[in-house]
């Protein structure tokens, strides 16, 4: 499943920042421990200890933000999966409502996917003339006069659902 590029980039940047912060924190903690053993707490050691503490806090914040980003990616994947499944159900319901035969439904689905008649014929191991005849019946049953009108029937459904979605206020 594809991810929104911004989310993947953000997760990658957060992971890199988290790794860098962790390395820096380990260095400063080791340096503070070494300095404390030899010098005790002087202004320099105290400053390094505060930097190490700030880095540890930054690591925690980065880890939380990375977790939120990964959750957002997972929710987006789940929503896309649900939408894909719902659209597949819409397609199946339309095909059933039009009374398409299984062969006509296959040809119609391949047409929705953008395949040419020759490609559909090859996939179905059928003659192009058979596929053209099936497409003619699909168009007649659906009320579409062309391939573009047939696809537009489903694009309209997607656009209507997008307008009436949960964020639209309708």
pLDDT, tens digit, 9 for 90 and up, residues 110-135: 999 999 999 999 999 999 999 999 99
Does 160 have pLDDT greater than 80?
A: no
Among the listed residues 60, 141, 136, the one whose alpha carbon sits nearest the alpha carbon of residue 95: 141
Sequence length of the chain is 170
Assigned architecture for domain 99-165: Orthogonal Bundle (1.10)
Range 45-65 average pLDDT: 89
CB 107 within 8 A of CB 120: yes
pLDDT in tens, 19-44: 988 998 899 899 889 888 888 888 98
The terminus-to-terminus CA distance of the chain in angstroms comes to 30
pLDDT of residue 84: 76
Range 64-88 average pLDDT: 84
CA distance 52 to 47: 9
Does 142 have pLDDT greater than 70?
A: yes
pLDDT of residue 5: 64
Q: How confident is the model at residue 2 (pLDDT cuts 50, 70, 90)?
A: low
Does 1 have pLDDT greater than 60?
A: no
97 CB neighbour count, 10 Å cutoff: 10
Does 167 have pLDDT greater than 60?
A: no
Does 7 have pLDDT greater than 80?
A: no
pLDDT of residue 168: 46
Q: How confident is the model at residue 14 (pLDDT cuts 50, 70, 90)?
A: confident
């Amino acid at each position: 499943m594809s991810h929104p590029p911004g989310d993947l980039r953000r997760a990658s940047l957060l992971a890199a920042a988290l790794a860098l912060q962790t390395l820096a924190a380990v260095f400063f903690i080791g340096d503070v421990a070494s300095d404390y053993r030899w010098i005790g707490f002087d202004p320099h050691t105290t400053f390094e200890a505060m930097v190490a503490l700030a880095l540890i806090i930054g690591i925690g914040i980065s880890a939380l933000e990375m977790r939120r980003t990964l959750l957002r990616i997972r929710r987006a994947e789940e929503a896309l999966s649900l939408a894909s499944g719902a659209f597949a159900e819409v397609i199946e319901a339309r095909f059933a409502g039009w009374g398409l035969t299984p062969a006509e439904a296959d040809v119609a689905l391949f047409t929705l996917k953008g395949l040419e008649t020759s490609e559909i014929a090859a996939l179905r191991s059928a003659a192009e003339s058979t596929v053209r005849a099936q497409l003619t019946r699909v168009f007649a049953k659906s009320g579409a006069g062309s391939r573009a009108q047939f696809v537009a029937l489903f694009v309209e459904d997607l656009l209507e659902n997008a307008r009436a979605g949960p964020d639209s206020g309708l």
